[in-house]
Amino acid sequence: MDYKRIKAIKKIFSLVITYLILIIIAIFLAGPFIWLVSSSFKTGQNIYTMNLIPHPFTLANYIGVINFISIPKYILNTIIITVSGIVLDVVLASLAAYPLACMEFYGKNLIFSALVSTMILPAAAGLIVNYLTISKMGLLDTLTGVIIPGAVSVFSIILLRQSYLTVPRELIDAAKIDGASEFKIWYKIMLPEVMPAISTIVIFDFIGLWNSFLWPIVVLQDPNKYPLATALKYLSGQFNYKFGYVAAGTVLSIIPVIIVFLAFQKYFINAVAGAIKG
Amino acid sequence: MENKLKKSLIAYLFILPAMIFLVIFVFYPIVASIPLAFYDYSVVGQSKFVGLANFSRAIHDHEFWVSVENSILFVGVVPPLQLLSILLAIFVNRKIKGISFFRVLYYIPVVTSMVAVSITWGWIFDPHGLLNTFMIEHGIFNKPISFLNDPRFALLSLMFITMWQGLGYYMMIYLAGLQSIPKELEESAYVDGATRTQALYKITIPLLKPYIWLCTFMSILSAVRVFDVVYVLTNGGPGDATMVTSVYQFQKAFTDFNFGYASAIGLLVAILTTALSILVFIYGGRKGGMSYY
């Protein structure tokens, strides 16, 4: 056998091993969800089996769980929380980060260091005071009470400031010579330039808000107002031994976020990488 | 001078909307939670100043110290295990067909809510669940293990779930790190006769150092804050085998409505965490790791 052929065989062999390991890791990381999906189509008798193909196949769990709790309502609550949270954060953070990057003003360093220092401090203590504040504002048990404490994220401001800093100064100077106001410069010139950073923020906010759990259980008393993650915990408490229902409910709660993730996965993955480099 | 004053005014107009929210919900809570810890806070009646009573109660509270110990165990076990994501990243850094499909698959646990993850694993770890069924069918266990209700396994199981969920996230960060390493460095090592393992230890890992520090730092902070998985699956039990500081503080605040005591606990934990992060930061910084950011 000549050298070339040995090399080719070796290459194929290592490729097979590589794929094998990739598949084993995939089973480890995605397997639980695949099993969950298959279990959600199983009847009560064979629910614990390893068998991945449901036999008999049934939609009873989905019908049951949708009849018992109204999943569309929870999805709507989650969408309200997520979308308004993202919009508030993007608007407020992109406004606030602009002068921190591009203007000289009194107290700039003080404001910036105050912002940075909050990132090091643990947020645990804030929970109680925020609960009292929301309660005094009369916003307990409202979606507004869920949304506004997280309306601006310090992380977003810092990320955007970093991004504004990379925009060439000449662009701003040229606009100033043309007599544009600061607001117009921000809106017409800066904002389009930092779109990549904004999409990063949208993605991080989306994951965080869509999955938010702790704060909603503190603020909300009426289960009808719960977002998906919180509703799921409520569901699993209600149907402790009806695994089929819980499995179907869990699958239904995961599907929206997986769809968004798969549609935008390229951006998701770039965002994680970009936030680190930025 | 006048110009700078005018400029400052404009700057504050931009910052003001965000500042209103930040002052009320970020800065004020940090300050206001400190005095709260010195009161016997009552939701309906008069709050009473109790001095250091909340703190001395915490110091003598056995369950509080158990929760601190469990949180420290979490920090000691999960971040080191999460280093496995480096191997994962090296593995998916190859240019072969379908590799991005695998990367996406590995990232799915990251975008899924911790509640959904917890419920799924809760059923896998159930005495009648997937893991026990498999182990008994194959004769590895002779009777089911109640992973979440047995004090010997409960904390370990929760650590495992936490570690599992983060793997994909850190993998992506390391992948970004790997792709920032110039290809020529490794290639020249191979030309000099280095083996794959040598190149990994002598070139790749040292260049990944800043990323390793960053990920370790983030992993430690999230291990200190671990809440959802514990709250959903064990709520601190059995006994206080899985009680961690965040859950204990939550129970004191929102089950017992003892805001003063919960604030004192929060403050003590904040001091411990800040000390810990400064330590990691200084150590990481001295090694030259964090200077990149």
DSSP string over A40-69 = HTS-GGGTT-S-SS-SS---HHHHHHHHHS
Q: Which of A227-236, A258-267, B26-35, B79-88 has the highest mean pLDDT?
A: B79-88
Contact: A125, B266; criterion CB under 8 Å: yes
Pick from A71, A220, A187, A228: which is nearest to B111 by CA?
A228
DSSP string, A197-262: HHHHHHHHHHHHHHT--HHHHHH---GGG--HHHHHHHHHHHTTT-HHHHHHHHHHHHHHHHHHHH
pLDDT at A226: 92
pLDDT of A87 reads 97
Q: How far is B202 from chain A (nearest CA, A)?
A: 23
Q: Name chain A contacts of B129, Cβ cutoff 8 Å.
A: 48
Contact B242, B73 (CB under 8 A): no
Q: And the tokens for A141?
A: 């048990």
Q: Is the pLDDT of residue B126 over 70?
A: yes
A146-173 per-position pLDDT tens digit: 999 989 999 899 989 988 998 888 888 8
pTM of the model: 0.90
Residue B27 in this model has a pLDDT that exceeds 60: yes
**B3, B12, B15, B71, best to mutate vs chain A, most A CBs in 10 Å:** B15
* Residues in chain A within 8 Å Cβ distance of B130: 35, 48, 50
Q: How far is A126 from chain B (nearest CA, A)?
A: 5
What ipTM goes with this model? Answer: 0.88
Cα→Cα distances A80→A57, A73, A140, B22, Å = 35, 11, 17, 21
Helices and strands per DSSP (H, E), number in chain A: 15, 0
Q: Write out chain A residues lying below 8 Å of B19, CB-based.
A: 96
Which helix (H) or strand (E) segment is B281 a member of? helix B259-286
Nearest CB neighbour to B114, from listed A35, A125, A211: A211
Q: What is the pLDDT of residues A179-221, one digit of tens each?
A: 888 889 899 889 998 988 898 899 889 989 999 898 999 999 9
Using alpha carbons, select from A152, A130, A89, A138 the residue that is nearest to residue A215.
A130
Between residues A159 and B186, the one the model is more confident about: A159
Contacts of A135 (CB under 8 A, 6+ apart): none
Do residue A273 and residue B129 have CB atoms under 8 angstroms apart?
Answer: no
